[in-house]
Amino acid sequence: MSIQENYELAKKAYEKWGINVDEVIETLKNVPISIHCWQGDDIGGFEVNPNELSGGISVTGNYPGKASTPEELRADLEKALSLIPGKHRVNLHAIYAETNGEVVERDQLEPKHFENWVKWAKENGLGLDYNPTLFSHPKANDGLTLSHPNQEIREFWINHCIGSRKIGEYFGKELGTPALTNIWIPDGYKDIPSDRLTPRKRLKDSLDKIFAVETDEKYNLDAVESKVFGIGSESYVVGSHEFYLNYAMKNDKLCLLDTGHYHPTETVSNKISSMLLFSEKLALHVSRPVRWDSDHVVILDDELKEIALEIVRNEAVDRVIIGLDFFDASINRVAAWTIGTRNMIKALLSAMLVPNEYLKQLQEEGNFTERLALMEEFKTYPFGAVWDYYCERMGVPVRESWLEEVKAYEQEVLLKR
């Protein structure tokens, strides 16, 4: 049977439950995923005097073809985007500035250093998001930045974050879609601290100074990202979930939840509904923490499906900003982007093809037998037929056929670098 014929059969199965599959597809194609640029070059960036990775961040593997110039990285992103259905965004870190060979310290970065990214985004119909880079730098070597006891070091990073928000605002003005500017820091201690409060006081003060400089929310959205554990901060992280949750709520900022930044028994999916009760918007970095924050390529596992369900069944598609954050240098990097992003979109589609309102009703009625039965039965409904049709309609390869394009790109481009 053809893709169209399979789709028509699937539609009939879902329509029995009041699900308009054509409408689902129209909704899905307007949900952007923010794709992280750093998968393409192993978080190397383009600083004139690059620093080794630090801040508890590690990339393993040496698969050939890593991008080493802005042009190569953008070409690789274009290839991945051509294999992913929908129109999406690209997430940048400060270290991806282009300074034309000039040494520009991070606290001196300006919008002009990202003009090429903006031009490229316009040509490809993409939005851009942004992150100040508070790691892999001499002023972060001891694992402290915005909470550092040295005021001069704190001021350096404060100015970097202020400038970053201006760069995010520039992205929003130029591209007509607000940039999410997200602050994450590696600050913490390897061993048990004797004082947990004072570093958090300094972090709060630093953030207050950063956000005292106004940007237009029409163009820039501010987010803060927590973490529970890191390499080098095993015993204490200054910017914990509780710290940033309270800071975001009190100061009307977005709280960003990274799926790898919690205890192994915690699930971000379980946090989303509570967050949405008290916040107009919520941001995510979706990763796969095989062991803590190990940032594996996103697969279509139970937690990813549950995250998508929480977004969809709570009618929060327009309220949750979805970004990805993983880096694997042991496999083809273009394939990593493609696999992870397609899986995020698959999870959203799967969540939209569930009779969520009826299942809510069953729960309210206490009909847990039917609720469980239907939740299980829908796991084997013909979701794949709808996905194939969606890919075909959006002009991207169906099923695993995209892999052949990546193999050809590897032979023709990546292996010649």
- Under 8 Å between Cβ of 94 and 131: yes
- Under 8 Å between Cβ of 129 and 180: yes
| Both structure tokens of 120 | 């490229």
The enclosing H or E element of 265 equals: none
Q: CA 312, CA 292: separation in Å to the nearest integer?
A: 26
Q: CA 182, CA 291: separation in Å to the nearest integer?
A: 24
Q: CA 345, CA 289: separation in Å to the nearest integer?
A: 19
Q: CA end-to-end span of the chain, whole Å?
A: 42
Strand, coil or helix: what is 38?
helix
| Both structure tokens of 380 | 């084997």
Q: CA 230, CA 292: separation in Å to the nearest integer?
A: 8
According to DSSP, the residues that pair with 90 across neighbouring strands are 35, 128
| Both structure tokens of 67 | 């991008």
Tell me the DSSP string of 153-193: HHHHHHHHHHHHHHHHHHHHHHHTSPEEEEE----EESS--
Positive or negative CA dihedral for 159, 161, 162, 166? positive
- Under 8 Å between Cβ of 321 and 355: no
Q: CA 201, CA 322: separation in Å to the nearest integer?
A: 30
In angstroms, the Cα distances linking 49 to 44, 105, 196, 271, 400 are 11, 10, 34, 40, 40
| Both structure tokens of 172 | 């929003």
Q: Which residues are known to be catalytic?
A: 184, 225, 227, 258, 261, 285, 293, 295, 325
**Strand blocks (E) in 199-307:** 220-225, 236-237, 254-258, 282-286
Positive or negative CA dihedral for 232, 237, 239, 242? positive
In angstroms, the Cα distances linking 47 to 12, 93, 102, 121, 304 are 55, 11, 9, 21, 34
